[in-house]
């Protein structure tokens, strides 16, 4: 049920649109691996390095565990914006992504509690994409994500 959004979008071939998931039960026990480290002492760069390390080695659940329960994500696609709210919805976006998804940060800008990067997104069998990404981190938890096409 993957859908690619082409060059104009930032879809990465993830699962159904958020409105298609509205009635589905995505509850699960939160992963506490992030709690095994002192995530409150981590800044945005430390948190995001750990997030990308986990995501890119296939530990998607571990990456999602770094998100705040009230995390919000905006994905800009053409002239539209999809907004996901809550760790289950935002984390589900990453958990449903095509197998082999990798996000490699290029130019990184450390703006205190905000981490901005040019991300190279790689999916097996699909053209790579460059996107602009912004992550806001508070107390070692990712609270906001914004993806938009590279300008």
Answer for the pair 66, 39: CB distance below 8 angstroms, yes or no. yes
Specify the pLDDT at position 77: 86
In-domain check, residue 14: no
In-domain check, residue 117: yes
Query: Which of 143, 133, 144, 63 shows the shortest CA–CA distance to 97?
Result: 63
The 10s digit of each residue's pLDDT in 88-147 is 999 999 999 888 899 999 999 999 999 999 999 999 889 999 999 999 999 999 999 999
In-domain check, residue 63: yes
Residue range of the domain that includes 77: 38-149
Rounded mean pLDDT, 48-54? 96
- Distance CA(55)–CA(125), nearest Å, equals 18
Query: How many domains does the structure of the chain reveal?
Result: 1
Answer for the pair 126, 14: CB distance below 8 angstroms, yes or no. no
Rounded mean pLDDT, 24-40? 46
Residue 141: which CATH number?
3.10.450.50
* pLDDT-based confidence at residue 7 (cuts at 50, 70, 90): very low
In-domain check, residue 46: yes
In-domain check, residue 30: no
The 10s digit of each residue's pLDDT in 11-21 is 444 443 444 33
In-domain check, residue 65: yes
In-domain check, residue 48: yes
């Amino acid at each position: 049920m993957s859908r690619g959004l082409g060059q104009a979008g930032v879809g990465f071939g993830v699962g159904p649109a958020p409105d298609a998931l509205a009635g589905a039960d995505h509850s699960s026990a939160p992963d506490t691996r992030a709690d095994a480290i002192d995530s409150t002492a981590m800044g945005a760069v430390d948190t995001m390095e750990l997030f990308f390390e986990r995501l890119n080695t296939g530990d998607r659940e571990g990456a999602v565990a770094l998100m705040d329960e009230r995390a919000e994500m905006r994905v800009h696609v053409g002239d539209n914006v999809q907004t996901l709210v809550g760790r289950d919805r935002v984390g589900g976006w990453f958990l449903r992504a095509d197998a082999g998804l990798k996000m490699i940060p290029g130019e990184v800008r450390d703006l205190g509690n905000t981490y901005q990067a040019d991300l190279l997104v790689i999916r097996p069998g699909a053209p790579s994409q460059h996107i602009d990404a912004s992550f806001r981190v508070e107390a070692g938890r990712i609270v906001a994500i914004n993806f938009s096409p590279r300008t």
